[in-house]
Amino acid sequence: MVSAKLSSLNATISKVSGNVMYINTSLGMVSAKITAITTSVNDISANTSKLLGANVSIQTTLGTISGKITSVSGNTATIKTDLGNLTTSVNSIKSSASKISTVSSALSTTEIFEIVILVLVIITLALVAVVIGRTRKQ
């Protein structure tokens, strides 16, 4: 178990298990998948400037975002990604989290029913075309 104070991020690493890091914040426990660390930590009390330039992967429910830490100021870290700059802090996570309800990529029952009906209509039209083609030949 690794324990270190991340005072600039208002967080504490509670443990690292395999490739998952568990961080306690004022919002509760956060787990982050660790895929690559390009800096080495020689001292747990090292300041956050050693994080600058580190490649990071952010695991979300929608997929993984890769980026590089470009700055750390107070409790805010800026991560440059292919989608642009991502700025994160404990306070911004708290305010934006209240706006998110549920994100789901599964099809609803209605959408599945509509797809089944569409497929049946296409099959019916194909069969009608075959029957019309055969009756014209006779």
Q: How confident is the model over 59-85, as pLDDT tens digits?
A: 666 667 778 878 776 666 777 877 777
- Do 37 and 91 lie in one domain? The reply is yes
Domain match, 92 and 113 both: no
Structure tokens at 101: 């309800």
pTM exceeds cut of 0.95? no
pLDDT one-digit tens code per residue, 103-125:
444 556 676 677 778 888 888 88
Are 69 and 121 in the same domain?
no
* Rg of the chain on CA atoms, in Å: 26
How many domains does one find in the chain?
Answer: 2
Claim to verify: residue 11 and residue 54 sit in the same structural domain: yes
Structural domain span for residue 132: 106-138
- The average confidence (pLDDT) of the chain is 64
Are 126 and 60 within one domain? no
Query: Distance (Å, rounded) from C-alpha 89 to C-alpha 74?
Result: 9
CB 69 within 8 A of CB 52: yes
Q: Which segments of the chain does DSSP mark as H helices, in order?
A: 90-97, 109-137
84 and 118 share a domain? no
- Do 67 and 73 meet the contact criterion of CB atoms below 8 Å apart? no
